């Protein structure tokens, strides 16, 4: 919470520094410097956009969820991954796939409140078998 507040205050006075502190000396910082030279308001908007995206994805990673893919107008992987490394993102991806495989393989019926019975499995097979005859 303190880091968000600190970056917000820094963004009010000098937006390129905020983006530099989040991403480092990469493309997003260069874009924000150009926006700052062209006009201060676009630089503030872009700085808040980068910081909000970064902290939103950081919270997702902290909760054990994948942060998502590419984000428009964001050029740095640090913001895309919420500060997590590629190994951590791969682990989250594997956990998600394992969870999906478990649901698929266990006979869990996502449309009902429980597991599929043998009769409901047969009713699902019938239309499929008709298609392949």
Tens of pLDDT, residues 7-17:
999 999 999 99
Of 70, 98, 13, 3, whose CA–CA distance to 47 is shortest? Answer: 13
- pLDDT over threshold 80, residue 22: yes
Q: What would the mean pLDDT of 8-28 be, rounded to a whole number?
A: 92
Residues 101 and 70 in one domain: no
- Count of domains observed in the chain: 2
Q: What would the mean pLDDT of 26-43 be, rounded to a whole number?
A: 92
pLDDT of residue 110: 53
Q: Which two tokens stand for residue 66?
A: 């994948």
pLDDT of residue 72: 84
Residues 83 and 20 in one domain: yes
Residues 77 and 106 in one domain: no
Cβ atoms of 49 and 15 within 8 Å: the answer is: no
Task: Tell me the residue range of the domain where 41 lies.
Answer: 1-88
Distance of alpha carbon 31 from alpha carbon 17, whole angstroms: 12
pTM of the model: 0.68
Residues 46 and 105 in one domain: no
Distance of alpha carbon 47 from alpha carbon 19, whole angstroms: 6
Q: Which two tokens stand for residue 44?
A: 């503030």
Distance of alpha carbon 78 from alpha carbon 122, whole angstroms: 48
Residues 38 and 81 in one domain: yes
Of 48, 55, 50, 60, whose CA–CA distance to 24 is shortest? Answer: 50
Residue with tokens 């150009």: 34
Residues 71 and 117 in one domain: no
Residues 124 and 66 in one domain: no
Please write the tens of the pLDDT for every residue from 45-103. 999 999 999 999 999 888 888 888 788 888 888 888 888 888 888 888 888 888 888 87
Residues 75 and 120 in one domain: no
């Amino acid at each position: 919470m303190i880091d968000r507040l600190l970056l917000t205050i820094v963004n009010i006075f000098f937006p390129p520094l905020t983006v530099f502190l989040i991403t480092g000396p990469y493309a997003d910082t260069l874009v924000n410097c150009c926006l700052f030279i062209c006009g201060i308001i676009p630089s503030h908007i872009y700085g808040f956009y980068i910081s909000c995206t970064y902290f939103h994805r950081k919270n997702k990673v902290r909760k054990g969820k994948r942060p998502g893919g590419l984000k428009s107008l964001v050029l740095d992987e640090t913001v895309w991954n919420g500060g997590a490394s590629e190994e951590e993102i791969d682990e989250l991806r594997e956990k998600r796939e394992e969870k999906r495989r478990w649901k698929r393989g266990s006979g869990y019926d996502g449309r009902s409140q429980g597991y599929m019975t043998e009769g409901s499995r047969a009713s699902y097979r019938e239309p499929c078998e008709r298609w392949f005859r």
